[in-house]
Structure 1
């Protein structure tokens, strides 16, 4: 590679079109949103193959120029529906009594950011290596930025990185503005508008949810921003690797977990999560009397009564968990671990969700990333249910989903649907080199994985 980093071609800011009405200039954030102030931006993106018709340099130039123009136009139309993403965060301090309030202001904002960059590498350079190459992190803007930085940075940034034979479209979205469901709802609409010019199947609901008697202004009882803003830089040298699980393999895991637990209630993803929990715990070579935890990101929308619509654009997410001793986890079978996970998810109901919000309102806090990881925890993020491969931008189906630097640590697992569909799942696993090496030789884990390359 001649240049190890992308070369900037252009950078601009995009505002909603048509312009947003003055009556919608401020949006106060809900408890779930404010709790994300110290989280990194969400960074996910899609890798596409350039159309064969653009093989000549002249055709390639025309294709890219046209793609950039259409992406900018589509983004402007999409921001009209997802207008909070065109603003900036405002954190307002009150002296008497000392407190902070947080809201989004898009009247005094340049808009969302759009970057066009180039890099002289191929699709194969990204997909072929065993580990995800670190160069992928440079496909995303707002590297290492916290959501709090949205006071001075755009809340949304789209980066198109042109490769020799492909295109990567990376999106960085402020985590205070939305969770994974909100993120992919935006991305799906962006793609839909690109293909159909302003046709929107699912209108986002931008009005924030507050329990009765609260909101829209929440005062955080802090004297200094240092009390709730935590910058964490993961300097540990961990590897990132994508493991593929075919639909057939997932079905076998599910059948095995249910048979061992004498039930039919354990889901495919619960079975896979149990496999991951057991395998990584084994790879860590922990003392058997230590306690180990698995945490899973859970969408609260469907668990509330009445439920929040899937189109609710904001955060509505929790991390539910279950724990046991290392010895108990490894001495019992897959079904035993899967049942524990199943029960943790089943018990995460309306009462639990509302109790969390009530407790937070009485004693507000901001999530600290470093509390989510320790030598004994596995964290399952994202979801294979998100519509990732349905996003098309004139180049056919994406070849792969990749993520940036954001919100990663030793023991963080990010789940994606498999590129071939049908119930297949890809897991992006982050582990220190010695633990990854142990996982790669773990018979129970590796016997469930398979090799899949969309190029062949």
Structure 2
């Protein structure tokens, strides 16, 4: 909770640079000056009387993890399809990939068609604040936004329809929305637990294929693969990583209950894109 992915990989890059330069200073030092909403004390008193009110003990859950690799060609086709269906050029590659997985995971869960589902994604607020924060800001300035739809609507419409829901959620979360959300939290602070972040009708995307995960060198050569630990995972969590070969490829870690993972591995829409080289 101390840092987001941007700060984590900034730290890893700096550490690697120190190793490669023989201990010299880093070329892009982190920025530790705190951003505070105007008019508010940076010291927040949490409304808890006992640690059990905010500490959540780890519970081992049974779910399956699998990585799906999308080539740059497949991603280009996904992005082109999503934008063509919406007659726009605004949908990003990341939004197109997440939209595809939102549809496929929903299909794998076999939920009722009138059930409402949400696909949420975390993104850095650095560039969206006015004035913007530095890329080197060391902290955790991320917010969660999401697109909502019923199962029936999501599966009846195409990829572009789903991707545009995500696109709208992102662009609407501007400087005003960010500051209003921060102010709301300051007035009623809470420590979020897993129960707030995950749910049976939720798909949540995190991390980013833009992070330079394979650029960190510590004398062992280029990493063979990127993997993550057991925290912050639950049914419906997808974690985005860059593909090892670069060029816009992506590796996506998907966590699902065993029965859902079995279903998604035979999803024709998903497999049709995974087979594109």
Displacement of 1:214: 2.1
Displacement of 1:213: 2.2
In structure 2, C-alpha distance between the alignment counterparts of 1:190 and 1:450, rounded to whole Å: 37
Q: Contact conserved, 2:73 with 2:276, CA < 8 A, in 1?
A: no
Higher relative contact order, chain-length normalized (CA < 8 Å, sep 6+): 2
* Counterpart residue number, 2:96: 271
* Counterpart residue number, 1:200: 26
In structure 2, C-alpha distance between the alignment counterparts of 1:237 and 1:218, rounded to whole Å: 36
Query: Which of 216, 219, 222 is the matching residue for 2:48?
Result: 222
In structure 1, C-alpha distance between the alignment counterparts of 2:101 and 2:191, rounded to whole Å: 28
SS at match of 1:194: helix
Q: Contact conserved, 1:380 with 1:414, CA < 8 A, in 2?
A: yes
Q: Contact conserved, 2:17 with 2:26, CA < 8 A, in 1?
A: yes
SS at match of 1:402: coil
In structure 1, C-alpha distance between the alignment counterparts of 2:248 and 2:8, rounded to whole Å: 21
* Counterpart residue number, 1:34: none
In structure 1, C-alpha distance between the alignment counterparts of 2:143 and 2:265, rounded to whole Å: 30
Q: Which protein shows a greater Rg?
A: 1
Q: Contact conserved, 1:257 with 1:271, CA < 8 A, in 2?
A: yes
Structure 1 length-normalised TM: 0.59
Q: Return the structure number with greater strand share.
A: 1
Structure 1: unaligned runs, 5 residues or longer:
1-174
Give the alignment of 1:245-324 within 5 angstroms: 245-324=70-149
- Provide the aligned length of Structure 1 versus Structure 2: 276
SS at match of 1:400: coil
In structure 1, C-alpha distance between the alignment counterparts of 2:128 and 2:101, rounded to whole Å: 25
Structure 2: unaligned runs, 5 residues or longer:
none
Structure 2 length-normalised TM: 0.96
* Counterpart residue number, 1:187: 12
| 1:380 maps to 2:205 | yes
TM-align CA RMSD = 1.3
| 1:415 maps to 2:277 | no
Q: Contact conserved, 1:236 with 1:432, CA < 8 A, in 2?
A: no
* Counterpart residue number, 1:210: 36
Displacement of 1:343: 0.5
Q: Contact conserved, 1:286 with 1:326, CA < 8 A, in 2?
A: yes
In structure 2, C-alpha distance between the alignment counterparts of 1:219 and 1:370, rounded to whole Å: 22
